Amino acid sequence: MVSMRGRLVAGVHCSHRAARIVVCDGDTGDVLRQTVVRFADGAHGDPVSWLRAFGEAAGGGTLDGVEAIGVTAQGHGLIALDANGVVVAPPLAHDDISASGAAAELVDELGGPHEWLAATGSVPTAATAVSHLRRLTRFEPDEAERVVAAALPHDWLTWQLLGCPAELTTDRSDASTTGYWSPTTGAWREDLAEQAFGRAVRLPRLVAPGEAAGRSPENLLIAAGAGAEAALAFGLGVGHGDVVVAVGASGAAFAVHDGMTSDPAVACLADATGRAMPVVRTLNAVRVLRGTAAMLGVDTAGFDELAMRSTPGACGLVMLPYLDGERVPHLPHAAGTLTGLHRESMTPEAFARASVEGMACGLADALDVLRGSGVAVERVFLVGVGARSAAVRAVAPMLFGVPVAVPDPAEAARAAALGVARQAAWALSGKPDVPAWPRPTAPFVEAADEDAAVGTAVREQYAEVRDRLHPEAAPRPDSGGTTGRHRRG
């Protein structure tokens, strides 16, 4: 076993916007230096651009003295490779829905959502690798003929750092997102990949948590790596009872957990340490706020100011923000709804407030789904571009019903890279225990009793409209959901 005192490790996060490298003290987790290189417009789906950005970020001595590196990358998009390791089909954009028909076919072929849950822990969607394999055979048959191997972005980048050896590698957290990995056995379900693609494809070697994928040509230890959400949770130091609510264009709520879940609305993925990581996704988050701001003709700051000037409850105005359909509740063909128009609610302030509360109530519904699946929801880390909104930060504690911490934007932005740097330190140490790095310093804010009561009323108002307009999606009495009622603790 190796002492970590004075040893440097690095984490690489390649999102759909930029490549980020953080260099940390392997013992304390202190960030010593970092670099960020943003992609050119349209380059987010080009793996070569990711590698070029990484090379630029690693230049200038960034990696001097580093002994181990971990990699995470955007958690969506299949990378199909030919026999020479050349990318045949680059990953689809994060908002591309062209594989949704393929996903529906696959769900039906296996017998329905619960059969997929039992087999892989989640139900295929348009963003799942198994759906992308089926889509490739349907829409790009000539390219599909050339494919011999299937990988995800983090797998491909790790392979590049290893010098493009004969086999690809991955970790269990990214493998769990593919739709052809078994959480029961921890092994690939090659039969599901073959069923989707029509023939066998080569899949990466699975590397266990805390182990190394290999060494680079420069003799750097390359850790297993992780999916983006698993790396983020690991970087934040998420523990029992903690939930990460990520507010991007769409939303996600996820936590570490010790068992499987059985609700089709929950993707029971794997985390970076050997545990489960249940994830609930919503389709509509920041896009709701941006759309409302555009309608009101204001910028982000002006929108926040309007929303904060309105009273809680938006004078009875309720927005169901299902602009692109919704996953929670399951309403794939729904549209957004605005109800409760009265003279006093027909103001820009009430409209802005209703969009913030509608979006936040949708995320609170996601937390209820986690609760109904037996996941402890005791504290929330609020991250993502939506967490920069003062209005969102103000309503979150009262609507979520638990203390909420909002890490500093710079701290949140590097959390995923920090997570795989921590993983690199784990692999380098040779120890079975996870390195005890510090958590973010952001305080947890709990709603006062009066604000909590207001939050209850707002959620009940939202739930009444939701269940009245969409009774087919209303929570069942035995589902464990709150049907809009605010729970604390």
Collapsed DSSP state (helix, strand, coil) of residue 423: helix
pLDDT at position 42, please? 60
Phi, psi of 12, deg, nearest 5: -115, 125
Distances (CA, A) of 408 to 14, 44, 314: 20, 25, 28
Q: For the chain, what is the domain count? A: 1
Phi, psi of 131, deg, nearest 5: -70, -35
pLDDT at position 481, please? 46
Q: Is residue 242 part of a domain?
A: no
Q: Is residue 26 part of a domain?
A: yes
- pLDDT(477) > 60: no
- pLDDT(331) > 90: yes
Q: How confident is the model at residue 184 (pLDDT cuts 50, 70, 90)?
A: very high
Q: How confident is the model at residue 191 (pLDDT cuts 50, 70, 90)?
A: very high
Q: Is residue 235 part of a domain?
A: no
Q: Is residue 47 part of a domain?
A: yes
What is the mean pLDDT of the segment spanning 341-366? 97
Mean pLDDT of the chain: 93
CATH number of domain containing 12: 3.30.420.40
* pLDDT (tens digit per residue) in 295-326: 999 999 999 999 999 999 999 999 999 998 99
pLDDT at position 134, please? 97
Are 484 and 360 in contact, with CB atoms under 8 Å apart?
Answer: no
Collapsed DSSP state (helix, strand, coil) of residue 19: strand
* pLDDT (tens digit per residue) in 211-247: 999 999 999 999 999 999 999 999 999 999 999 999 9
Q: How confident is the model at residue 485 (pLDDT cuts 50, 70, 90)?
A: very low
- pLDDT(479) > 80: no
* Structural domain of 26: 8-229
- pLDDT(91) > 90: no
What is the mean pLDDT of the segment spanning 97-117? 95
pLDDT at position 44, please? 63
- pLDDT(69) > 50: yes
How long a stretch of residues is the chain?
489
pLDDT at position 480, please? 45
Q: How confident is the model at residue 1 (pLDDT cuts 50, 70, 90)?
A: low
* pLDDT (tens digit per residue) in 255-295: 999 999 999 999 999 999 999 999 999 999 999 999 999 99
What is the mean pLDDT of the segment spanning 18-22? 95
What is the mean pLDDT of the segment spanning 450-468? 97
Instruction: Give the H/E segment covering residue 313.
Output: none
Q: Which of 49-53, 84-88, 376-380 has the lowest mean pLDDT?
A: 49-53
Collapsed DSSP state (helix, strand, coil) of residue 152: coil
- pLDDT(89) > 90: no
Q: How confident is the model at residue 2 (pLDDT cuts 50, 70, 90)?
A: low
Q: Is residue 382 part of a domain?
A: no
25 is written with which tokens?
A: 């003290």
Distance of CA 269 to the CA centre of its chain: 11
* pLDDT (tens digit per residue) in 122-171: 999 999 999 999 999 999 999 999 999 999 999 999 999 999 999 999 99
What percentage of the chain exceeds 90 in pLDDT? 87
Whole-number Å distance between alpha carbons of 231 and 409: 17
Distance of CA 459 to the CA centre of its chain: 25
Q: Which of 232-236, 414-418, 484-488 has the lowest mean pLDDT?
A: 484-488
Q: Is residue 20 part of a domain?
A: yes
β-strands 66-73, 79-81 pairing: unpaired
- pLDDT(487) > 60: no
What is the mean pLDDT of the segment spanning 458-478? 86
Q: Is residue 253 part of a domain?
A: no
- Candidates 135, 17, 123, 10; CA nearest to 74 is 17
Q: Is residue 144 part of a domain?
A: yes
